[in-house]
Amino acid sequence: MKRTGAIALTALAPISWGSTYAVASELLPPDRPLFTGVMRALPAGLLLTALARKLPTGRWWWKAAVLGGLNIGAFFPLLFLSAYRLPGGVAAVLGAAGPLFVIGLAALLLGERARLRTVLVAIAGALGVSMVVLTSEARLDLVGIAAGVVSSVSMGAGTVMTKRWGRPEGAGPLAMAGWQLTAGGLMIIPLAALVEGAPPALDGKACLGYGYMMLINTGLAYWLWVRGIGRLTATSVTLLGVLSPLTAAVIGWAALGQALSSVQVLGMGVALGATITGQVVAGSARPFVSAKEIDRNDSMDLMGESVRR
């Protein structure tokens, strides 16, 4: 029962990420993806770190920087480059193939068994997503494909290394998410300044959009994602990522008036079925962090470091 609750809460992260395109296209300034990446990551990271009242110590300074670079600092720019160079459907399929990399890396570094049925489930999930998002007009671009593949590898490696390194004593998922978002956001600032120049003027609509991106789409979502990595296997967590492009398709249909064909509906069924099946077949691997440590750290996160002290 605890595992089911952990899966449900972790799934809220990719579901939230599925709203990114709709919010960006309807509320945010156009052609400013790197600035948007900074606005998503850095304020959220500083807020979570302040709430956790915990800074890295010792080797966790460089570990937090590495994780922040993999999950945010490299992932965001590469993802945006892929999205600009490729049709959205192709970029989404490349992201949906990320679990295949995580399955292999988790077997190598975490001892999670790379079962054939788990690989087949990951392939089925990517196939379902392709049925939802790919169109006959899709064009291939080698730079865009390379960026999409590397972005998936970067996020996958960040997920596995977050699992492998665990958390330092007294630091819960709130602090871990805050450190990574802050480090990643700081890494994107020079690139955003070089490529996009000065920040754009923001109206009320843009402020609302960035507020949602910072608090819900990034701060809350990454806290749930890091929390899930501590409670579930890396394979189980990454298989939930399929929910992001599916959510984007549903929002496009429900809120933006985009049509859904019978093939797309069938693809949703295939992808959802693969996601559910994946949680069953991936659930037998033992979490890298003990349940006792997880419960203790989560309790600290909820009470706040000030109470603990």
Distances 38 to 62, 99, 182, 183, 191 between C-alpha atoms, Å: 20, 26, 9, 11, 10
- What is the C-alpha separation between 94 and 126, in angstroms, rounded? 8
Write down the domain spans for the chain.
2-308
pLDDT computed for residue 90 by the predictor = 63
CB environment 43-68: b (16+ within 10 A), e (fewer):
bbbbbbbebbebebeeebeebbbbbb
pLDDT computed for residue 8 by the predictor = 92
pLDDT computed for residue 182 by the predictor = 97
Amino acid at 300: M
Low-confidence ranges of the chain (pLDDT < 50): 285-309
pLDDT computed for residue 174 by the predictor = 95
pLDDT computed for residue 130 by the predictor = 82
pLDDT computed for residue 309 by the predictor = 39
